[in-house]
Structure 1
Amino acid sequence: MIGRNKSKHKFIVVSMILGLTIIYNEYLVYEINSSTWNFKKCTECVRVLLVADPQILGEYNENYIGASFAIWDSDRYLAKTFARALKHSEPHVIIFLGDIMDEGHIATTQQFVRYKNRFDNIFYTPDHIMKIYLPGDNDIGGEEDSVSSRIHDRFKFTYSQPDTIIHDNVIFFKVNRLINYMPNAPKDAFLNDYAEQNVTNVVLSHVPLLFNPGYFVKNVIKELSPQIIFTAHEHKAMHLIIDTTIDQFGKSRIFKTHDNSIYQLRFDMGDIHEIQIPSCSYRMGSIDNMGYGLAYIDTRDKSVDFTILWLPSRFPKLKGYLWIIAIILFSFVAILVCNCFASSSSPSSLYNNNSNYMMYNHLMII
């Protein structure tokens, strides 16, 4: 009886540990992590939340045992982190820098519709916030395969919007290096004279530009005169400067993981900055380098303040669940074994065994 009570107590303790672990992994870790994010108060700036490579999982590659759980957990992670990033940043503009879907370029029309609905549910955003969508290679092809005009047109139709978008005095140019496309600059962009104007030209590209220069990149710089470029694709957090006065690369920086500092980037000296945004998906990044980008664009001050909203790791939490489940199963088996042993060694069972033995001897005498 005492052994059985001890076993029950152990099971209760393990169950409490599992419950506390679930509370921490599914709620507290996100709240604690978001409390470390930096925020800058500004009245004249344009706040921009940058989302790179969410790559919501598809149905073709995720066809193994447990795939449904993997898709469900990945979607929940993205939804939880984005909701907190949205609340923290209070953005005027949200930019999705491509690779919205992991299998968009190979999806059927029916699958694409399902992916689109999942994406809208995950990244739910109020209507008053401006949203900009860029295609990535996983959306339309272009990395391991060629860009299909049909798939590209499907994406453009689904996320129909101009390639040049203006918010206050910030002009966003959507550049597509996968097909070497860039929009024409509007006449009111004050190109090549932005130092004297309260205007900021921002180039958006899924594939990095300054990190991989070439003829197309030179044309982008010449025609669009960007002060800052936001890119994705590499799943890394990096910063590169090019000095246009001497046409040479300046310093580069790799943003340290979980460094929540705010960096001020000035572009009134002829510098062009490119910032790569890391993936926000734990399935696409490494264990601990997922994050969202947050930029404060001040057209009057000729500067951009930038920080990364680093996200909590997920894989260690999932491995922790496996360990706890294994412990619970082991405890359950141990309880069964102890109960069986206790039953077989109890006084009543010994009495019954002795009675059976005496009856057997009595029958043998007769």
Structure 2
Amino acid sequence: MYFRRSTTVKYFIAALLAAALYCEWLIYLVQPLYWQNLECPSHDPSCTKILFIADPQIQGDEAVPPPLSYLFNWDSDRYLKTTFSVVMNHFKPDVLVYLGDLMDEGSISTLPQFHSYVKRLSNIFDVNYPIVQVWIPGDNDIGGENEPIKKDKIEDFKRVFQQPTVVNNEIHPNIYFCAHDHESKYVQQKKDLTQRSSHQMLAGNFVLRVPFYEDSLYEIFVPTCSYRMGTGKIGYGVAIIESNNQEMKYTVLWSPKRFPYLFFYAGIVIVLVLYSFIFFSARLAHKRLKSVIKSDKVPLLERI
């Protein structure tokens, strides 16, 4: 009866549903409107589109005990899946490059846990057309930061993430892509390793243009695509190589923040619980008061 008659609660629930509609659906439709549109020229059949996915670090089984772990993993996985799907539909890449740290606990997981994390990654980064995928392991996948690199993890990684042969250390590239730092920037220097300068790539429509004939080396840091990494600058790196492999353009397709909306949901729940507690407490107190007043009006002999 309380929820049917309370106009305040009805408006409160309507506002919550509207906010959830925006946070869980509309925001992902609006975000591409702010992205730079990198497209291959129609007259350049050699043009290649590359999508860089850095540091998804899906949460493992050890970080948070159940049942909270189920909720946290579900939300972070769904966020990654949604943002990845939006980027794929917008950019339509020819190549996917995963820049390591795919899992948060890959380097310390058991084999069954490792396989369960791989299944989650497969569901998150689901591609519906043939595409080249390059999977690079990070320290959270095979060790190397707080523990030595583990040979068994390297073998597990190779066995699960089967991929084309990657050329190592033979072509002397001018451009290096990396991750791990969870930030977006690029470092430019001469090939003799002098005149080094670092540049931040913040949210916006900035496009980095690199002609391959230039006498410079570029180290491009791709930001994390996960909201769990403690930064509000979340996104996917995209690049096109055009003009018969003579020029590259690179930018970041930024994802919407997630934590502000989660805090908003938590605040709404807290307010609703407090409102319900105060309302029901007031109703109970009112009923008791009416009962006392009613009993006082009854004649003494009838009360005996």
Pair in the same fold by TM > 0.5: yes
**Structure 2: runs of 5+ lacking an equivalent:** none
Question: Which stretch of the first structure deviates more once superposed, 227-236 or 4-13?
Answer: 4-13
What is aligned with 1:332? 276
What is aligned with 2:19? 21
Cα distance in 2 for residues equivalent to 1:303 and 1:22: 43
Cα distance in 1 for residues equivalent to 2:302 and 2:176: 94
What is aligned with 1:263? 208
Instruction: Decide which of 176, 192, 195 is 1:229's aligned counterpart.
Output: 176
Instruction: Decide which of 191, 194, 197 is 1:251's aligned counterpart.
Output: 197
What is aligned with 2:298? 355
Please state how far the C-alpha of 1:121 moved relative to its aligned partner. Answer: 0.2
**Per the alignment, in what secondary structure is the counterpart of residue 224 of structure 1?**
coil
Identity percentage of aligned residues? 31
Q: Is the 8 A contact 1:278 1:285 kept in 2?
A: no
Alpha-carbon spacing, 1:79–1:106, altered in 2? closer, same or farther (3 Å):
same
Instruction: Decide which of 228, 244, 262 is 1:283's aligned counterpart.
Output: 228
Instruction: Decide which of 125, 130, 142 is 1:128's aligned counterpart.
Output: 130
* Structure whose CA Rg is larger: 1
Cα distance in 1 for residues equivalent to 2:155 and 2:250: 33
Q: Is the 8 A contact 2:3 2:10 kept in 1?
A: no
Cα distance in 1 for residues equivalent to 2:84 and 2:299: 70
Cα distance in 1 for residues equivalent to 2:295 and 2:230: 65
Cα distance in 2 for residues equivalent to 1:315 and 1:356: 63
**Per the alignment, in what secondary structure is the counterpart of residue 309 of structure 1?**
strand
What is aligned with 1:295? 239
What is aligned with 1:106? 108
1:144-183 map, 5 Å: 144-164=146-166, 173=167, 183=168
TM-score, normalised relative to structure 2: 0.90
Q: Report the number of matched residues.
A: 300
Alpha-carbon spacing, 1:107–1:299, altered in 2? closer, same or farther (3 Å):
farther
Cα distance in 2 for residues equivalent to 1:26 and 1:16: 15
What is aligned with 1:51? 53
TM-score, normalised relative to structure 1: 0.76
Q: Is the 8 A contact 2:235 2:254 kept in 1?
A: yes
Q: Deviations over 1:39-61 (max 9, x none)?
A: 12323321111000101111122
Cα distance in 1 for residues equivalent to 2:127 and 2:273: 42
**Per the alignment, in what secondary structure is the counterpart of residue 126 of structure 1?**
coil
Please state how far the C-alpha of 1:115 moved relative to its aligned partner. Answer: 0.5
What is aligned with 2:263? 319
1:168-207 map, 5 Å: 173=167, 183=168
Instruction: Decide which of 73, 80, 86 is 2:75's aligned counterpart.
Output: 73
Q: Deviations over 1:15-47 (max 9, x none)?
A: 112212211221122222232111123233211
Cα distance in 2 for residues equivalent to 1:285 and 1:299: 38
Alpha-carbon spacing, 1:340–1:6, altered in 2? closer, same or farther (3 Å):
farther
Cα distance in 1 for residues equivalent to 2:152 and 2:253: 36
Please state how far the C-alpha of 1:130 moved relative to its aligned partner. Answer: 1.3
1:240 aligns with 2:187: yes
What is aligned with 1:202? none
Q: Deviations over 1:142-189 (max 9, x none)?
A: 11111111110110111122442xxxxxxxx4xxxxxxxxx2xxxxxx
**Per the alignment, in what secondary structure is the counterpart of residue 61 of structure 1?**
coil
